């Protein structure tokens, strides 16, 4: 029974995902799955932020920019016609390796674009380089330098996307092709594959949850927590805090970029608002609302709030709502609203052991007892 306990939330997630899909089928509102799928991809970004902020204690105000870095790299490479510069001497080789694919465009001309899988790899490399450049100097220092650096980075990225014709300026990029994966899976927003894409996104989030859950309950997870709690002590234990901070920052940026790539193929395009500071702050607000160091809480709040936002539930107050959430969390419940709520619920359930909640029973006694135990 206790061995199965870790699997319970994952099973609940799968059951809920299936129930939601069946529900929409029964009520004839399968169109809702589209916004849910998008919310699932956004949840990946927030999960990465949860690892970075919740566990390692480092603040990023630029995760929207990493999402956009992934999305835009894919969008540009898969829509730009390379037939005039087909990669110089490697052109033939690249085509043979299916890095370049030629296909007819809307007007019947043959265009040469990068294959989605190659664009995905390129997106990961671009994000890796960007995150390393931002993170390396900022994370060698202790304090809020990463927040500053990522905020600036996000502003620069969104202005560059707005100013460049390659990235479609204010219109962004449209007409991103579908991404054909093995096993007949297609990442695309077309309605025949809507259910399939919903489950694909669910699987990605589930995979991220499993991997992150394993990570936070391991040697690396303890090292990250140690960095958050007391960096000096972590260092004295032989933990290379600067290296861990950089690795976890790059990892969470990559997760955001993965989400960006899938999102772009799914919606068929990406716009500059995805890179904006407001989007980045929204991710932070969602992570805070989920309790920061709480993978399941963060997934839940991120799915629900993003879904409501995408359905237009907040109207023109969309960004204001997320700002308000952030302010309320910080001032009223710094641990997120779920933890106090959970504690209150636990109090309602009689007879449940609560050994981890609060102080030791009779701390004064334990102090005395520790003396005799030390000698034993």
Partner 1 sequence: MALLEVENVRRSFGGLTAVDNVTFAVQSRHIKAVIGPNGAGKTTLFNIISGLLRPQSGQVRFQGSLIGGLKPHQVARAGLSRTFQNPALFPQMTVLENVMSGRHLKTRSEFLACAMRLPWQTREEAAIRHQAMARLDYVGLAHLAAFPASALAFGQRRMVELARALAAEPRLLLLDEPASGLNTREKQDLGELISRIRNTGVTIVLVEHDMSLVMRLADEILVLHHGATIAEGTPAAIQSDPKVVSVYLGGEFQDVAPGPKS
Q: How far apart are CA 115 and CA 180, in angstroms?
A: 10
What's the min distance (Å) between Cβ of 355 and partner 1?
6
Distance CA 286, CA 297 (A): 10
Residue 138 beta carbon to partner 1: minimum distance, rounded to whole angstroms = 18
CB of 64 to partner 1, least distance (A): 24
Nearer to partner 1, 137 or 163 (CB): 137
Buried b / exposed e along 349-370 (16+ C-beta atoms within 10 A): eeeeeeeeeeeeeeeeeeeeee
- Please identify, using beta-carbon distances, which residue of 219 and 344 lies nearer to partner 1: 219
Give me the least distance between CB of 37 and partner 1, in Å please: 24
Distance CA 67, CA 47 (A): 13
* Residue with Cβ nearer partner 1 (110 or 218): 218
- Shortest Å, Cβ 176 to partner 1: 29
Q: Residue 133 or 237: which CB sits closer to partner 1?
A: 237
CA distance 342 to 356: 13
Q: Are 134 and 65 in contact (CB under 8 A)?
A: no
Partners of residue 162 on adjacent β-strands? none
Q: Residue 156 or 237: which CB sits closer to partner 1? A: 237
Report the residue number, 235 or 319, with the smaller CB distance to partner 1: 235
**Nearer of residues 171 and 229 to partner 1, judged by Cβ:** 229
To partner 1, the closest distance from the beta carbon of 322 in angstroms equals: 27
Cα 288 to Cα 190: distance, rounded to the nearest angstrom: 33
Q: What are phi and psi of 352, to 5 degrees?
A: -90, 130
Q: Measured from the CB of residue 325, what is the shortest distance to partner 1 in angstroms? A: 23
- Nearest CA among 163, 134, 133 for reference residue 61: 134
Residue whose CB is less far from partner 1, 179 or 244: 244
CA–centroid distance for 210 within its chain = 14
By CB under 8 A, name the binding residues for partner 1: 211-212, 214-215, 218-223, 225-226, 229-230, 232-241, 247, 251, 355-356, 358-360, 363-364, 366-368, 370-376
Helix, strand, coil percent content, the chain, rounded in steps of 5: 70, 5, 25
105: DSSP letter = -
Torsion angle defined by CA atoms of residues 16, 284, 223 and 225, in that order, rounded to the nearest 10 degrees = -80
Minimal distance, residue 49 CB to partner 1, in Å: 17
Crossing angle between the packed helical segments 145-163 and 116-139, to the nearest 10 degrees: 140
């Amino acid at each position: 029974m206790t061995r199965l306990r870790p699997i319970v939330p994952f099973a609940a997630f799968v059951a809920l995902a299936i129930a939601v899909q069946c529900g929409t089928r029964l009520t004839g509102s399968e169109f809702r799955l589209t916004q849910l799928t998008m919310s699932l991809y956004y949840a990946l970004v927030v999960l990465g932020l949860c690892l970075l902020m919740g566990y390692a204690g480092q603040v990023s105000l630029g995760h929207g920019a990493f999402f956009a870095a992934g999305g835009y790299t894919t969008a540009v490479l898969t829509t730009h016609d390379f037939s005039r510069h087909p990669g110089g001497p490697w052109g033939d080789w690249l085509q043979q390796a299916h890095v370049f694919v030629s296909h007819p465009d809307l007007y019947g001309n043959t265009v040469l674009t990068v294959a989605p899988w190659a664009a995905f790899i390129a997106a990961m490399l671009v994000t890796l380089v960007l995150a390393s450049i931002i993170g390396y100097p900022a994370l060698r220092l202790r304090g809020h330098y990463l927040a500053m650096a990522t905020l600036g980075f996000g502003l620069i990225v969104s202005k560059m996307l707005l100013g460049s014709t390659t990235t479609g300026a204010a219109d962004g990029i449209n007409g991103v092709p579908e991404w054909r994966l093995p096993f007949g899976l297609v990442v695309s927003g077309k309605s025949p594959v809507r259910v399939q894409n919903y489950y694909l996104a669910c699987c990605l989030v589930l995979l991220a949850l499993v991997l992150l859950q394993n990570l936070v309950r391991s040697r690396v997870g303890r090292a990250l927590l140690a960095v958050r709690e007391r960096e000096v002590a972590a260092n004295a234990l032989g933990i290379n805090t600067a290296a861990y901070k950089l690795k976890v920052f790059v990892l969470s940026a990559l997760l955001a970029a993965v989400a960006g790539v899938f999102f772009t193929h799914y919606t068929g395009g990406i716009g500059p608002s995805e890179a904006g500071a407001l989007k980045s702050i929204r991710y932070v607000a969602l992570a805070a609302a989920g309790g920061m160091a709480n993978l399941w809480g963060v997934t839940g709040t991120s799915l629900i709030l993003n879904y409501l936002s995408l359905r237009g539930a907040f109207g023109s107050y969309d960004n204001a709502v997320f700002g308000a959430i952030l302010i309320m969390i910080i001032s009223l419940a710094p641990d997120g609203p779920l933890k106090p709520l959970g504690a209150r619920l636990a109090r309602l359930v009689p007879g449940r052991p609560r050994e981890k909640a609060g102080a030791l029973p009779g701390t004064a006694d334990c102090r005395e007892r520790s003396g005799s135990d030390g000698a034993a």
